[in-house]
Chains A and B, each alone.
Chain A
Amino acid sequence: MANHNHAAPAPVGGSLINAITLTCGVLIALMAAILMVRFLFGLGAVTGLNDGYPWGIWVVVDVVIGSAFACGGFSVAMLVYIFNRGEYHPLVRPALLASLFGYTLAAAGVIFDLGRWWNVWNMFWPGSINPNSVMFEVAVCITLYVMVMWIEFSPTFLEQMGKVDARKKLGKAMFFFIALGTVLPMMHQSSLGTLLVVMGVQIHPLWQTPLLPLLYLLSAITMGYAVVLFESCLTSSAYRRKLETHMLTPLAKIMLGFLAVYLIVRVGDLLVRGALPKAFVPSVEALMFWLEMLSFIAPLILIGAESNRRNPARLFLAGVLLMLGGALLRLNGFLIGYETNVDGAGGYSYFPTLAEVLVTAGMFAIEVLGYIVITRRFPVLPREHAQAAH
């Protein structure tokens, strides 16, 4: 794959202080203040959590959905290094950077939600671990993957710091980290779906199936490509760079391939289990199900034709829709379709508080801020001849 004539990555440059970075700063400060209250007075002081809904948006959005959004690095690395499609190589670094932030924050953000966070070391302590627990698998895999991604991304820092020797040594072993970096996300992205299996009848039949691991894995890969479309279009427009349509158009085709497989498995599973009639019972669950399905199906119409895949606006929209669809699959399974003790529900309801939303916003702000700082200061995006950074 060495013969593609891509421009080497280079820092974008420009000022780090602008309206976006300042907004991020404010959101991060608000998050810090709310977290202080949370750690001093408990989860109930800032969240809308209760025993009917023990998991809120800090788990479902920040971790389950957030880590699926962060699958760009995994999806693209798999394409370039496993399927040997070197033509997509310039997409690797930016995608990996977004993933790195998404995952690091998802892993760190879990701590905010843990009621007894000082005991978290038990998760890795041989005397405590429970290999039967799906969450144990998820936690170990995500932790390892975060480390692997920092190693995968480290050449960027080493290059900037001029450490050529270290860079070369690492380069020799890189293939192994890249392999690990494809296996680990496959493991935990599927397991994030398996998390629901033990909840049994408490999960609405539209989202409870033994095929959950496959559905979550396929949708995560699809979302990975969708995020790359989204992020590439956004970066190009924000930094006033040339759109990467020549790579995005064929990438979108691959994405649609995974999407088609996902939809076949999803609908086939609903038919085989006989759960589909539940989608026609007037209910919030059915409405959310159709919103989810529409978000997955619309991109097929939007960019199904080759000519439409050359249209950046359509690519961007399809990317956003698939991110939404994947997010809804997870939100629906974990919150909308979840009801504790189905027959004797004690009137529990959950809606995130402003404080919860602000913490989630703060987490995304850290990601955006980090992405801006690193792309402006480190060699991530391909060099452009007329740098338009400002």
Chain B
Amino acid sequence: MGTRRDFLKGMLAGSAAATAGAVATPAVARETRPRPPEALGLLYDATLCVGCKACVAACKTANNNPAEFSTLDHLWDTPLDTSGYTFNLIKMYRNGTMDAKDQETNGFAFMKTSCMHCGDPSCVSACPVSAMTKDPVTGVVGYNPDKCIGCRYCVAACPFGIPKYQYDSPTGRIGKCELCRHRHKDGHYSACAEVCPTGATLFGRTEDLLAEAKRRIAMKPGEMNRFPRGHLRHAQEKALQGKPDGKGVMMRAGWRDEPDQSYETQAGKYLQHVYGEKEYGGTQVLKLSAVNFQKVGLPDLPPDAAAAMSETIQHTLYGNLIMPFAVLGAMTYVAKRNVKPEDDESGKEGS
């Protein structure tokens, strides 16, 4: 007969186990990770965007993706959202009479949708098989289909709705922007920035892009200013001369050399907020807009990444398997006392 004392012992072991699941007093809370110092990214300036979608087409070509149709005639690539086959999209905000650009009421605005390359990405934390990884140097969030099991936890985890899955294929992959990392070895940077005619999408080191973004939001609206296009070079790189790489291509500091493409135009009515500077601890893709960021489709995110909370819980409970083994030890001790070899599972004791 189970005596009261045995029962109490069981309670003790049980509560040890319950504590394991319960009091998430983080031994060491996993802090939100900042972006790497040499992180690469994009700066998207909605006030400069004219909605030409050259970046959408260039992205399709660079990533070898097929057209997607949302109209009856099937003439143009017309995706309505990013998908397993569309990694970059310009979406349009419309309100009322749509009289003026970058106006919240009775206006319209554009917003680029593509991977933000978070400093502390949820998708990388979620992926059980390390198919989604963050490059320690460039910070690019890359995808490896040869490891991916297609569980779509990354799709569910991303607050920007970025990783997408190819549901129409028996061998479907995850599709997402990888900042054209496959083009980097040839000195090419992100195709979307390369083709952008107005410099609305700019490629560079996130630190430089952030400085550029801050320069812009400090401008007086309507004032003439110079805006770079394509690749925003670090100040030191600007002074360098291009060198031939031996294959007939001029290179400068690891990237294809191109002439200065900057131009003068009027500054937009920027909101005093660089989206991505602090969201989830900071993303590598930054955004500027004249219309409220939530209205143009970007979530209102706290400065701490969800991945940090998730991993704090995970490692508080399972760090070095200390807690599981402690509970297992307690359970084994109690079970050893209570389970007689002859009566383990059988219930034979009744005969």
A residues at B contact (CB < 8 Å):
1-9, 39-45, 47, 49-52, 54-55, 78, 80-87, 89-90, 92-93, 96, 113-117, 119-120, 122-123, 125, 128-137, 139, 152-153, 155-156, 159, 168, 170-172, 174-176, 178-180, 182-183, 186-187, 190-191, 194-195, 197-202, 210-211, 213-214, 217, 338, 340-344, 346, 382
Contact = CB atoms under 8 A, between A and B. Distances in A.
B35 interface: no
Interface in B311-351: 311, 313-315, 317-318, 324, 327-328, 331-332, 334-351
Contacts of B302: 200-201
B160 A341 contact: yes
A62 to B, nearest CB: 14
Contacts of B339: 81, 174-175, 178
B37 interface: no
B147 interface: yes
Contact of B327 (A171, A176, A186, A346): A186
A139 B128 contact: yes
B151 interface: yes
A92 B17 contact: no
B150 interface: yes
Contact of A115 (B17, B150, B337): B150
B307 A90 contact: no
**Contact-residue bracket for chain B:** 35 or more
A119 B159 contact: no
A117 B331 contact: no
Contacts of A199: 122, 156-157, 159, 306
Nearest to A135: B128
Interface in B273-296: 294-296
A179 to B, nearest CB: 4
Given A8-B347, A8-B350, A201-B301, A187 B324 contact: yes
A168 B113 CA distance: 64
Interface of B: 1-3, 6-7, 9-11, 13-14, 17-18, 20-22, 24, 80-81, 83-84, 91, 113, 122, 125-131, 145-153, 155-161, 164-173, 294-302, 305-307, 309-311, 313-315, 317-318, 324, 327-328, 331-332, 334-351
B159 A51 contact: no
B345 A155 contact: yes
B333 to A, nearest CB: 8
Contacts of A113: 151
A83 B7 CA distance: 5
Contacts of A342: 159, 299-300
B328 A180 contact: yes
A107 to B, nearest CB: 13
Contact of B147 (A1, A54, A122): A122
B80 A4 contact: no
12 contacts: A4-B349, A9-B347, A50-B167, A115-B166, A131-B314, A178-B339, A183-B324, A191-B314, A191-B317, A197-B313, A199-B156, A341-B161
Nearest to B84: A51
B170 A41 contact: yes
Nearest to A187: B324
A362 B285 CA distance: 46
Contacts of A194: 310, 313-314
Nearest to B344: A174
B195 to A, nearest CB: 24
Contact of B297 (A49, A93, A202, A341): A341
A130 B7 CA distance: 39
B80 to A, nearest CB: 7
Contacts of A195: 153
B343 A2 contact: yes
A137 to B, nearest CB: 6
Contacts of B164: 51
Contacts of A191: 314, 317
A131 B3 CA distance: 41
Given A186-B17, A211-B24, A43 B167 contact: yes
A9 to B, nearest CB: 6
